[in-house]
Structure 1
């Protein structure tokens, strides 16, 4: 049985946990909270164990049972809060990465480590698809901390021989996220459709980003771990296609049957231009064909409609 440990039980951590358990894997989640009730979910043919704790502190307990791979799905702050507390964001991200790598180096150096980075925060907008070999140009504290996390992962790979990998993930959607997070264009569009409140539109709406449904993200990540291949240090995970913000609003409006009004927001460098990732490296490692934007948004709309806790909105 494949055994993995997830650091963090948030949006991505919980999705990976459930996806791994449904493959029959044994999954341990380390987190100080369980916002999506992951430990109470049906694990299917696999198993889910929850260890309450901060950062890498409970990791030795997980490693005692044997761990094939660790996925870092936590650390630092969300993009918007990071701008007001850049030092805290850097400390939160880098202290977790370093503590975890040191723990693995001393207790289980054969365990693979995967760091979930951010393509949208690390790459600068450009007309061409962004490849892993191109220079990163973060424009926010959140992007800087992710980029430095990648560098520490590369350091432990280069100097200490650990199997460390960074996944540069695009804009992942599929769950209605709290509006306070300051991220998630698709989620924000759904909030506007459900509540009738205007969507804050930065720029003219023609700027485009790469949007990946969370189920496809889970498939790609777990397939990479299951491949048994010697993975590169950095791998893009996305769809390879940019979609305009205006197209997202149209798709959400069509899927929900609710019109979305917009209100102008301040222009920012991070909200301009076009950004999508090249998938050549990913597709050389696994077979991967993600669903299109409209199909993903329709799936999300059906999931939201089936969620009884949202009926009072």
Structure 2
């Protein structure tokens, strides 16, 4: 049985734990809180083990279980809050990355480490899909901490011989996230469609981004974790196709049979230009064909409808 450890039980950590268990894997989840009730989820043919606490402090307990890979799905703050507290964001991200790499170096140097970075925060917008070799040009504290986290991953790979990998993930959607997070264009559009409150539109809505459904993200990530040979240090994970914010609003409106009203918001450095990732490297490693935005938003709408009445946001 393959054994993995997820650091963080949020949206992505929860999704990866459930996906791993459904493959028959053992997933240990370390987190200070359990917002999606990961510990109570049905593990299917696999198992989910919950460890409450700090990722660095609890890691030795999971390494004793001969863990194959660790996924860092926590650390720092979300993009919008990071601008108000850049030092806290940097400390939260880098102390976790460095602490985990040091623990693995000392206790289990054969364990793979995967860091969930951000393509949208690291790359600068441009007309061509971004390759892993393109320079990182962050324009937010969140992007800076992810980029430096990648550099530390590369340092431990180059100097200490660890198997460290940074996954530059695009905008991941598929769950109705709390609006207070300041993250998730698709989720925010659904909130507007379902509550009738306007969507705050930053920029003119024509800027494009790469959006991937969480199920496709989980498939790609777990396939990389299961890859039998050495992986590159940095890998893009996305769809390879840019879609505009206006496209997102139209797709959500169609999926919910509603019209998403908008209200203008302040402009920022990230509100303009186009950004999608090149998937050539990912597709050379695994067989991967993600669903398109309209299909993914339709799936999300059905999942929300199946969940019953909305809780208070």
- Shared fold (TM-score greater than 0.5)? yes
Match of 2:246 in 1: 246
Match of 1:199 in 2: 199
The Cα offsets for residues 131-160 of structure 1, whole Å up to 9 and x where unpaired, read as 000100000000000000000000000000
User: 1:118-137, aligned counterparts within 5 Å?
Assistant: 118-137=118-137
How many Å separate the matches in 2 of 1:116 and 1:91? 16
Match of 1:298 in 2: 298
Q: Which runs of 5+ in 2 are unaligned?
A: none
Shift of 1:128: 0.5
The Cα offsets for residues 250-290 of structure 1, whole Å up to 9 and x where unpaired, read as 00000001111100111111111100000000000000000
Shift of 1:311: 6.8
Match of 2:101 in 1: 101
How many Å separate the matches in 1 of 2:194 and 2:303? 13
How many Å separate the matches in 1 of 2:28 and 2:312? 34
The Cα offsets for residues 12-63 of structure 1, whole Å up to 9 and x where unpaired, read as 0000000000000001000011000011010000000000011311000111
Match of 2:115 in 1: 115
Shift of 1:309: 4.8
How many Å separate the matches in 2 of 1:159 and 1:260? 51
Match of 1:190 in 2: 190
2:55 alignment partner, SS class: coil
User: 1:139-154, aligned counterparts within 5 Å?
Assistant: 139-154=139-154
User: 1:16-55, aligned counterparts within 5 Å?
Assistant: 16-55=16-55
How many Å separate the matches in 2 of 1:176 and 1:251? 15
The Cα offsets for residues 157-191 of structure 1, whole Å up to 9 and x where unpaired, read as 00000000000000000000111111100000000
Q: Which runs of 5+ in 1 are unaligned?
A: none
How many Å separate the matches in 2 of 1:240 and 1:116? 18
The aligned length equals 313
How many Å separate the matches in 2 of 1:155 and 1:79? 25
Name the stretch that deviates more: 265-274 or 10-19. 265-274
How many Å separate the matches in 1 of 2:76 and 2:203? 27
- Alignment pair present for 1:279 and 2:279: yes
The Cα offsets for residues 55-88 of structure 1, whole Å up to 9 and x where unpaired, read as 3110001111110000000000000000000000
How many Å separate the matches in 2 of 1:55 and 1:28? 11
4+ aligned runs moved over 6 Å, structure 1 = none
Shift of 1:203: 1.1
TM-score of the two chains, using structure 2 as the length reference = 0.99
Shift of 1:308: 2.2
How many Å separate the matches in 1 of 2:156 and 2:211? 30
1:89 alignment partner, SS class: helix
Match of 2:217 in 1: 217
How many Å separate the matches in 1 of 2:230 and 2:8? 25
- Alignment pair present for 1:87 and 2:91: no
Shift of 1:216: 0.1
Shift of 1:312: 7.2
